[in-house]
Structure 1
Amino acid sequence: MYAQKDTIKEAIFKTLKVIRMHDWLLDLYVLDFFVDGHWEKLPSSWQNCFENMTPQDLGNILSGIPTSHVLPLSFISLVKSVQVLSLPRKPKFERSRKVTINDEDSCGGHPKLKNLFLKHVKLKKRHEISLMAEVVRSVALESKCDAVMDFGSGLGHLVRVLAYKNNLHAAGIECQSQLTEEARKLDLQLEYTASKHLSENSTASLLRPIHLNMTLTSNNQLHQLKLPDSMKTYGLVGLHPCGDLGPLLIKHFINCKQVKYICVVGCCFMKLTCEGKECGYPLSEYAKGLDSKLSYVSREIACHAIEIYLERLRKDNYDDLKVHAYRAALERILVEHDPKLKHAPVRNIKHSNTMTFHQYSTLALERLNIPVVDVARGESDLLQWRRVVTLYTLRLALAPLVETVVLLDRVLYVLEHGLLCEIHPVFDPKLSPRNHIIVGRRT
């Protein structure tokens, strides 16, 4: 169902209202937990409630499992608000739109080429590419447009599916020339494999994608691309474009009549430009007229996977989550050692849950070139690791609201310009946390 402006406006207004009431929580950066005394900033009723609650209990509560704990009404209200106002994350794209390819003399239909597009692709990417290609194919048919450009195409996995399997004229736009060269090699490898199973006519008629290099900083650059005659009109695809790239693609869709549709999945909200005429957020005139600011810290937490995190808590598997406490404890030591070291870029340590704090801090401080500091204070702070995990969990519970505002602002921006727009949760959020696809179309 296509979104309606009034419905989107009401949703943005209500969601921002709840966010404004809880900015104090969203902006409690866990890194500063001990430096700024974050636990004491929680309401006293929350402190009393969560002090003796296990992370497992909190994970169950936020997953909707009944509890015997007496919860503060303000917390219950917040949880309910998040449930009601957040965009649904359970995948439910209309599977009936799927296009079945029955022609066995094709890349998409030959039984021995079933796994042709899975080589060199990790599980998460396979999941995303398969569903994204299905959505793009469906929208392309509705738009009567058989050409598409994929921005941030990397090794070209998506454009290969769109071209060779779905018979779309596809172009991949990538900023790194090395990836573009590798993409061309993978195209040739695919064609070689396909030629062993397809007729000469089918092999000769394969639509090879084109790969171009461009670092996109302005939507005006897209008008300068030299495209073949088969791509006089086209659709835009962005599978997790970082930061401002997603908004740039949406703006190009709005401003260029040659672009018949767009399918874009957001990512890296913390890298959005939030000030100036060409900002990436907010886009819509309506949101610009509200108190719609979102801090860097709140946009950063909105990029994390709440489903996977809560699942770990519920399974009593949160030892690896102590890394937040390790880093927060080290931060207090660094700041007390030298205030100029606040938020210093320490080395990222894997498997820290198997280390002592002394081992962790020794490795983390390697790149700062300072002597190993006294870790006794840190070891004392680590006794409060459950508090750190609890605070992070509470902030993460709010994250879907922030993502909802960013995505609905993009949908509304398209609607304000008189174009059709819808949004679907398509990917499995446990595999791909940013799982909503925004689809815009020209009629």
Structure 2
Amino acid sequence: MKSGKYSCNTRSETLEWITAIIDFLKPFSFLINAHVVNFFKDKQWEAVDEDWMSCLRNEKLENILLIPSGTVQDHWPASLKDFVHTLRSLSFPREQADLQTVLSDVNVAPLSTVLSQGMNLKKKHEVEVLSSVVSSVVNSVGESTVVDVGSGQGYLAQVLSFQYKHSVVAIDSSSHHGNVTDARAARIRKHFASQMRKSGSGNKCPDAPTTITCRVLSTEMLKSLTNVPLEENDLDLDAAALNEGPKRSCSLVLAGLHACGDLSVTMLRTFMECEEVKAVVSIGCCYNLLSEKTSESSCYKCGFPMSAGLKSLGFSLGKNARDLACQSAERWSSLGEDAGLQNFELHSFRAAFQMVLSKHYPEVLATSPSIGRQGKAFRRQKQRKALETPSKLETSRKDIDKKSTTHTSSSFEKFCLSAFSRLNLEHPQDLDLTATWNEANAFTELIGPYWSIRAALGPVLETLILLDRLMFLQEQGDSLEVSMLPIFDPTLSPRNVAIIAKRL
């Protein structure tokens, strides 16, 4: 497990990597803690090296979008190139690992049509790969029941049950997801039974996964699963129900495909605190939902930091940094010029709208208002319009700069009116949206470079969160076998790093 000169095979190596990240990040706290909606209001570009912004404001958009991937241009200032290269060297590599080389007994088998029904390309890829990894882990630790934590519609659970023939419990907090999982599993089982009858096979049809609906809020909740009567297939349990009735113990392997926020953390803690859990395979996401211990809080089991090593360094992230950790270099590099232009224009509109709120609704601004999916809806409208009139589609940065002020102001006004509606606010009578846009428009060419430089910090922040989890496991001693592997294609699934731990 290496990135440039850094390794994380041992606790001391992991701590060295973590320390290097923190030392590098500290001078850039103004970028990490910034919220881009305040770009114009707070003149955020003024905090960035003037030479960097002067260079990038005239750079090709395609090169700006590659900054988070670690790509630089020869004519850039040496300090900017050093910044980007250092970030790249501190980030955990995301290229998909050769699983058959690093894990024994892994055979990624394609999913049948019936098992993959309803999955998009991303989900199918994730389930194909992760199910094979989990199956390999189960086989290596002995007969165990797999607990699919945060199972959603049960895709992973059903592949592990029907394709790999493992005993599986699918656990999710949503009763709707539980019902969907059961209905989907019933259809799949019916298909398998029909196929076996036609072939004259006497083999028993694979069991469908047991479905449990409950809130997984603590390690105690997951530990209770070691005594659940798994032969019952229609459980709808809360914390109390898990501790009632006839029980039988079993060995468990915990698996989580993008278990959000603290749920991934809870899985790792449960693995350490419950001997019946023989292994864990965790792929986290939604770092913005992590709970965090700060100097003002005393959260005993927060999601970050987990390790004693990182706690001793006294470093905290904050919400904006956790949001930033969700940025994907692969997604940025694959945006394309048109999507990139639209993305930066939307950021400009949102930041200019923040100026409107600051002047006319300061009391609303104090609540950190969200306008929901306004940006995505607006982008879709523009994309539909572009497809209808392809001859008018902007294809370069110069073209977007030459758009008439009237046209851009009109788009900004539509954006603001929609945002007012989302926030249930009246349109101020004395509001001159054209004047507001003209004030912001002089600096709109800076928002792309600024946002790209800031996004380049995302992979390093995610690396810090992942290394903290890895070191938490490494701190438990030599009784564990621990690894951290990028198991998915990052262009399909950017949150592709799995933490795998087994008891020896």
**How much has 1:60 moved relative to structure 2?**
4.3
Q: Say if 2:283 is the partner of 1:257.
A: no
Match of 1:105 in 2: none
Deviations 1:233-273 (A, max 9, x none): 01001111111111111000001000000000111111111
Distance in 2 of aligned mates of 1:175 and 1:62: 35
Distance in 2 of aligned mates of 1:426 and 1:185: 29
Q: Is contact 1:243–1:272 with CA below 8 Å preserved after alignment?
A: yes
Match of 1:296 in 2: 319
Q: Is contact 1:284–1:412 with CA below 8 Å preserved after alignment?
A: yes
Among 272, 291, 299, which residue is 1:273 paired with? 291
In the alignment of these two chains, the number of paired residues is: 432
Among 352, 360, 378, which residue is 1:352 paired with? 378
**How much has 1:332 moved relative to structure 2?**
0.8
Q: Is contact 2:68–2:455 with CA below 8 Å preserved after alignment?
A: no
Q: For 2:290, give the aligned amino acid.
A: L
SS at match of 2:212: strand
Inter-CA distance 224–356: structure 2 relative to 1 (3 Å threshold): same
Match of 2:28 in 1: 22
Deviations 1:281-306 (A, max 9, x none): 11111000003211210110111222
Inter-CA distance 77–417: structure 2 relative to 1 (3 Å threshold): same
Match of 2:406 in 1: none
Match of 1:379 in 2: 437
SS at match of 1:117: helix
Among 70, 77, 84, which residue is 2:89 paired with? 84
Q: Is contact 1:82–1:401 with CA below 8 Å preserved after alignment?
A: yes
Q: Say if 2:164 is the partner of 1:166.
A: yes
Uncovered stretches (5+) of structure 1, i.e. residues with no partner = 102-107
Match of 1:136 in 2: 134
Structure 1 vs Structure 2 CA RMSD = 2.2
Q: Is contact 1:85–1:401 with CA below 8 Å preserved after alignment?
A: yes
Q: Is contact 1:145–1:260 with CA below 8 Å preserved after alignment?
A: no
Q: Is contact 2:490–2:496 with CA below 8 Å preserved after alignment?
A: yes
**How much has 1:207 moved relative to structure 2?**
2.4
Among 404, 412, 423, which residue is 2:471 paired with? 412
Q: Say if 2:457 is the partner of 1:434.
A: no
SS at match of 1:198: helix
Q: Is contact 1:153–1:172 with CA below 8 Å preserved after alignment?
A: yes
Match of 1:126 in 2: 124
**How much has 1:100 moved relative to structure 2?**
5.1
Inter-CA distance 118–382: structure 2 relative to 1 (3 Å threshold): farther
Match of 2:407 in 1: none
Deviations 1:301-351 (A, max 9, x none): 1112221212325x4642221211111111111111121121322242235
Match of 1:38 in 2: 44
Inter-CA distance 351–155: structure 2 relative to 1 (3 Å threshold): closer
SS at match of 2:272: helix
Inter-CA distance 221–27: structure 2 relative to 1 (3 Å threshold): same
Q: For 2:433, give the aligned amino acid.
A: V
Match of 2:245 in 1: none
Distance in 2 of aligned mates of 1:51 and 1:282: 37
Q: Is contact 2:292–2:318 with CA below 8 Å preserved after alignment?
A: no
Equivalent residues in 2 for 1:181-330, closer than 5 Å:
181-199=179-197, 204-225=204-225, 226-228=228-230, 232-275=250-293, 276-312=299-335, 315=337, 317-321=339-343, 322-330=345-353
Distance in 2 of aligned mates of 1:292 and 1:145: 41
**How much has 1:66 moved relative to structure 2?**
5.8
Q: Is contact 1:333–1:377 with CA below 8 Å preserved after alignment?
A: no
**How much has 1:202 moved relative to structure 2?**
5.4
Q: Say if 2:421 is the partner of 1:366.
A: yes
- Point out the more displaced range, 351-360 or 280-289: 351-360
SS at match of 1:341: helix
Distance in 1 of aligned mates of 2:363 and 2:222: 43
**How much has 1:74 moved relative to structure 2?**
2.5
SS at match of 2:280: strand
Q: Is contact 1:238–1:263 with CA below 8 Å preserved after alignment?
A: yes
**How much has 1:93 moved relative to structure 2?**
3.9
Distance in 2 of aligned mates of 1:402 and 1:441: 26
SS at match of 1:75: helix
**How much has 1:423 moved relative to structure 2?**
0.4
Distance in 2 of aligned mates of 1:208 and 1:153: 14
**How much has 1:411 moved relative to structure 2?**
0.6
Deviations 1:69-107 (A, max 9, x none): 232x33222212111111001111423545559xxxxxx
Q: Is contact 2:258–2:284 with CA below 8 Å preserved after alignment?
A: yes
TM-score by length of structure 2 reads 0.81
Q: Is contact 2:66–2:332 with CA below 8 Å preserved after alignment?
A: no
SS at match of 2:313: coil
TM-score by length of structure 1 reads 0.91
Inter-CA distance 364–437: structure 2 relative to 1 (3 Å threshold): same
Q: For 1:307, give the aligned amino acid.
A: E
**How much has 1:47 moved relative to structure 2?**
2.5
Q: For 2:415, give the aligned amino acid.
A: Y
Q: For 2:268, give the aligned amino acid.
A: I
Match of 1:70 in 2: 76
Inter-CA distance 284–100: structure 2 relative to 1 (3 Å threshold): closer
